[in-house]
């Protein structure tokens, strides 16, 4: 251990054993009269938003009510369960501070963060895929030059990371701002230590040919904070809080869609059960282990230490306006082709 923070051992309860085909729930039969009463309430509440000035706010509130009521009705929510849910949200509010966001953790562990990312970062040609942002990005991380080390003393196996930033036509993007952040080998980000350190994070810029390179540390798996209500929820349902090993990137450049993503370590045990559903196949990379004494790309002397290397080529999608124009061009071309065929 290198700091005061500590993860307590996380028990990993197994789900209770059940007979095949028995999901442990009861089927409740609702009479037509009862269903009609429930439906009337849904419609009354939805109608109460009819006068909302903003059409978007009206749409959001009415859809929310529709789905919340559908949930309560489908699950036949009991009053005790409703109270427990209110207690859960109250606890989430109490534990939330400027540096601990329990509601984001809840959204992450329910897959809602990844769903929102999927909705808002639609696939564009071969642009690099986005994944979850997480709570540990910090504005104003140190600037490093290409080839420098962003570990700043964080414990971990040295890892050489290199690649190129290009557009979807393969043209280099010069001057892209590349933010990188990661946990140390004990599974902690610098901000989780009480001593105010800055480590395992930095930003750098791509060179004229789009290339970038730096030393970091080989990512290892770590748990999301689980000492609050979200941790209790995961434990109650027999889910692990572990995130599969990853290195965070945020890449921005004028005229391009900002990319928030990670790369994941091929072979990590948690790839199939990342607690926040962040893994995408295209982002799994080979972090090739190098034995001690293997010459490093920049001649750095690592003595008797093993190290790793990984390549991550980043393809940026154009900014919104350009994307739309391009999709329009493709649609027009498609319809012309279609016209020629018929
Ligand atoms: C992270 O990768 O840093 C993270 C993402 C979601 C929840 C907690 C942590
Ligand atoms: Fe992370």
pLDDT at 321 over 80: no
Q: Give 219: exposed, middle or buried? Use CB within 10 Å, 0-12, 13-18, 19+.
A: buried
Task: Pick the closest to residue 218 from 178, 185, 261 (CA basis).
Answer: 185
- Asked whether residue 181 is domain-assigned, the answer is yes
pLDDT at 15 over 60: no
Cβ of 111 less than 6 Å from ligand 1? no
- Asked whether residue 225 is domain-assigned, the answer is yes
- Asked whether residue 281 is domain-assigned, the answer is yes
Q: How many domains does the chain have?
A: 1
Which residue is closest in CA terms to ligand 1's atom 4? 134
- Asked whether residue 141 is domain-assigned, the answer is yes
User: By residue range, what is the domain housing residue 134?
Assistant: 106-322
Which residue is closest in CA terms to ligand 1's atom 2? 134
CA distance 308 to 167: 27
Instruction: Record the pTM.
Output: 0.85
- Asked whether residue 81 is domain-assigned, the answer is no
Query: How do residues 26-53 score in pLDDT, each as one tens digit?
Result: 777 889 999 999 999 999 999 999 999 9
76 — phi, psi (to 5°)?
50, 60
- Residue 136 alpha carbon to ligand 1 centre in Å: 7
Ligand 1: residue of 135, 225, 260, 280 to mutate (most ligand atoms within 8 A of CB) is 135
Q: Give 47: exposed, middle or buried? Use CB within 10 Å, 0-12, 13-18, 19+.
A: exposed
Number of C-beta neighbours around residue 210 at 10 A:
22
Beta-carbon neighbours within 5 Å of ion ligand 2: 134
- Kindly report the three-state secondary structure assignment for every residue of 222-238: EECCCCCHHHHHHHHCC
- Asked whether residue 24 is domain-assigned, the answer is no
Cβ of 224 less than 6 Å from ligand 1? yes
CATH number of the domain that residue 236 is part of: 2.60.130.10
pLDDT at 11 over 50: no
- Asked whether residue 36 is domain-assigned, the answer is no
């Amino acid at each position: 251990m290198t700091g005061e923070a500590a993860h307590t051992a996380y028990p990993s309860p197994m789900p209770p054993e059940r007979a095949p085909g028995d999901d442990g729930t009861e089927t409740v039969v609702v009479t037509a009269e009862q269903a009609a009463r429930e439906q009337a309430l849904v419609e009354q509440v939805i109608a109460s938003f009819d006068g909302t000035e903003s059409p978007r706010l009206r749409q959001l509130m009415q859809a929310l009510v529709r789905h919340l009521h559908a949930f309560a009705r489908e699950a036949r929510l009991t009053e005790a369960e409703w109270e427990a849910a209110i207690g859960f949200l109250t606890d989430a509010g109490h534990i939330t501070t400027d540096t601990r966001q329990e509601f984001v953790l809840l959204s992450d562990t329910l897959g809602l963060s990844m769903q929102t990312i999927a909705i808002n970062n639609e696939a564009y040609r071969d642009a690099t895929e986005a994944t979850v942002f997480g709570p540990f990005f910090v504005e104003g991380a140190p600037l490093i030059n290409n080839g420098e080390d962003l570990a700043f003393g964080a414990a971990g196996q040295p890892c050489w990371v290199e690649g190129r930033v290009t557009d979807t036509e393969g043209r280099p993007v010069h001057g892209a701002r590349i933010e990188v952040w990661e946990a140390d080998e004990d599974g902690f980000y610098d901000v989780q230590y009480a001593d105010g350190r800055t480590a395992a994070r930095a930003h750098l810029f791509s060179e004229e040919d789009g290339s970038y390179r730096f030393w970091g540390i080989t990512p290892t798996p770590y748990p999301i904070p689980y000492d609050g209500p979200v941790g209790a929820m995961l434990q109650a349902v027999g889910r692990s809080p572990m995130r599969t090993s990853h290195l965070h990137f945020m890449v921005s450049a004028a005229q391009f869609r900002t990319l928030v993503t990670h790369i994941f370590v091929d072979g990590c045990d948690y790839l199939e059960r990342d607690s926040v559903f962040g893994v995408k196949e295209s982002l799994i990379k080979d972090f090739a282990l190098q034995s001690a004494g293997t010459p490093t790309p920049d001649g750095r002397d690592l003595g008797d230490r093993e190290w790793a290397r990984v390549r991550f080529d980043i393809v940026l999608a154009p900014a919104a306006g350009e994307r739309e124009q391009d999709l329009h061009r493709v649609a027009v071309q498609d319809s012309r082709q279609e016209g020629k065929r018929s």
